[in-house]
Structure 1
Amino acid sequence: MSTPDRPFVSYHLWSLVAPAKGQEHWHCQMRRGFIKARQHEPQVKALLAKVTPPQRIGILAQKGVYEFHHHLHWLTQSDGVEKVAHLLGLSHAHDVVKQRVLQILQRYHHTPLLLGKRILQLTSGDEGYPKPIVIEQHNYCFRLYAAMDCVFIESDSTLHILDFKTGKSAFDRRQALVYLLAARYLYPGKRAVASFYNLEICKKSELITINNQEFVSLEYELANIAHKHQQDLHKYQSETRNFSQIFPPNPGNHCRFCPFNSICEFSEFKPGIMPKVVQQHTPTPVSE
């Protein structure tokens, strides 16, 4: 039933296939091609292995919350932050990473969001891929991957899926929808809500819910994404020279933020090289 060739989908893949609202201008399908079709090539594999400071901050922040609740008494001890920081190896981290993660730990220690909650699942962030959920209907079948940061039970028995964030990135409702769909299969019969929480600025999102009709539409949309991506992979494997036709590029000023700009022939930004377009007339910078 769970063959490796079965189409798969996740929030990450959804975000690579379709841009978030307002980000259409700088969305590039070729990025999906590098990540999902060419990930085993040495150059691409090396670039994917690199962890940027913002990514490192997110990883350490998640692990910090996990360690606080794994050693619950540290939340009430004055040196609890120092103990978690030591476990995370922050003394060896880059100064910017160290300072920002320390601030996150201090804020969580002061206001521990999950303290007193009936936690069903809290990940440390290094568990790897979760077991896929096989979704099978009469007209489609696909594997759903949903790595949830935290799941807990509210006082009214509602299942609450919480995703931690850091930095300035906007919350993407689609991620919560994927988690709610996963919860429908993992915790059948349970009423569920989802939300985001930015550990850096202590900001909560609204609670996100979904009704039965929306579940049907969401599942169908994800099935289409899974099958489209599988078809693209098969096309590329059959004719690798058609990479740019299968995963078309969208070059522009936003190339400077792409992890593959050093190897992409269409990139308008090469590390250490001033693009000609910038020398002639400097466009308005696009934020990350």
Structure 2
Amino acid sequence: MSTPDRPFASYHLWSLIAPAIGQERWHCQMRRGFIKARQHEPEVKALLTKATAPQRIGILAQKGVYEFHHNRHLLNKSDGVEKVAQLLKLSNTSYQVQQRVIQILKKYQDAPLLRGKNILQLTPGDEGFPKPILIEQGDSYFRLYAAMDCIFIDGDRTLHILDFKTGKSAFDQRQALVYLLAARYLYPGRQAVASFYNLELGKKSDLIKITNHEFENLKYELANIAHKHQDDLHKYQEKNSNFSQIFPPNPGYHCRFCPFNSICEFASVTTSAHTIIPV
């Protein structure tokens, strides 16, 4: 089987196929269709390259943490936040983005979560796709993509996978489970835990662990997701006029926040709601 035809899974794909608990009414499969099946079409590609303000804030916040630890002396400098802001080229962003990122940098400098940690990996957040992990499940395989923000070693030699967040969205434990699955392959034999940390709110999640039973169930779940998505892509490639049947829409109020509402024929965006409200 050639690599391009091999099914893949990731937390992002999982979230596009199945909504987080409590988000069911706003979930739309057509969004997955635009992102994963029609991403090379000029109109769709143009929309995908436009980062929203919340997305830009998240990327810059993580890069700010990276710069603080890449240039550790800045954590103790009175002008450390200003220096990191220059490295991030914040002056090239909107006022809203600048103000929120500056506040995040100040909060992190005041209480640097990773100070003194034995850091194995800390990414700037814009490094692109990680190398896939090949996972065997039953008689088939799938590729797992897991881009982890930070991995450090706790005092008892446990691997601690940390994911940074911004904004007000709830933590989705499924993301941590995907990271813990990846850690089983990347660091065999090592105990691992995962957690989230909201850089904007200074809020930590509980530690998340995975048992051997959960590990096997997770592999099965992700294999099903990988194969369902591959089947949907094949159906679309065979007959792209069936796009809305393969990736059914779920129009409603949430359409006004969808990046594809300008090209989606099912978008429920009234003439009075063309302006997207910043989150």
SS state of the match for residue 169, structure 1?
A: coil
**2:272 alignment counterpart:** 274
Structure 1 residues 104, 170: closer, same or farther in 2, change over 3 A?
same
Q: Give the distance between the partners of 1:114 and 1:220, measured in 2 at CA.
A: 34
**1:282 alignment counterpart:** none
Per-residue Cα deviation, 1:89-130 (whole angstroms, up to 9, x for no partner): 112221111011000000111100000000000000111100
Percent of aligned pairs sharing the same letter: 75
Q: Are positions 1:126 and 2:126 aligned together?
A: yes
How far 1:140 sits from its partner (Å)?
Answer: 2.5
**1:76 alignment counterpart:** 76
Q: Give the distance between the partners of 1:222 and 1:175, measured in 2 at CA.
A: 12
Gaps of 5+ in 2: none
Matches within 5 A, 1:84-99: 84-99=84-99
How far 1:274 sits from its partner (Å)?
Answer: 3.2
Per-residue Cα deviation, 1:212-264 (whole angstroms, up to 9, x for no partner): 00000000000000000000000000000000000001111111111111110
Matches within 5 A, 1:103-182: 103-182=103-182
Contact kept in structure 2, 1:29 and 1:247, CA below 8 Å? yes
Q: Would you identify which runs of 4 or more consecutive aligned residues in structure 1 move more than 6 Å?
A: none
Q: Give the distance between the partners of 2:88 and 2:64, measured in 1 at CA.
A: 7
Number of equivalences: 276
Contact kept in structure 2, 1:26 and 1:254, CA below 8 Å? yes
Contact kept in structure 2, 1:2 and 1:134, CA below 8 Å? no
Matches within 5 A, 1:149-228: 149-228=149-228
CA RMSD in angstroms comes to 1.5
Q: TM-score normalised to the size of structure 2?
A: 0.96
Structure 1 residues 50, 173: closer, same or farther in 2, change over 3 A?
same
Q: Give the distance between the partners of 1:13 and 1:215, measured in 2 at CA.
A: 18
Q: Give the distance between the partners of 1:246 and 1:256, measured in 2 at CA.
A: 22
**1:254 alignment counterpart:** 254
**2:10 alignment counterpart:** 10
Q: TM-score normalised to the size of structure 1?
A: 0.93
Contact kept in structure 1, 2:137 and 2:220, CA below 8 Å? no
**1:263 alignment counterpart:** 263
Q: Read off the aligned partner of 2:135 and give its amino acid letter.
A: I
Structure 1 residues 227, 287: closer, same or farther in 2, change over 3 A?
farther
Contact kept in structure 2, 1:8 and 1:142, CA below 8 Å? yes
Higher mean displacement: 136-145 or 117-126: 136-145
Structure 1 residues 126, 237: closer, same or farther in 2, change over 3 A?
same
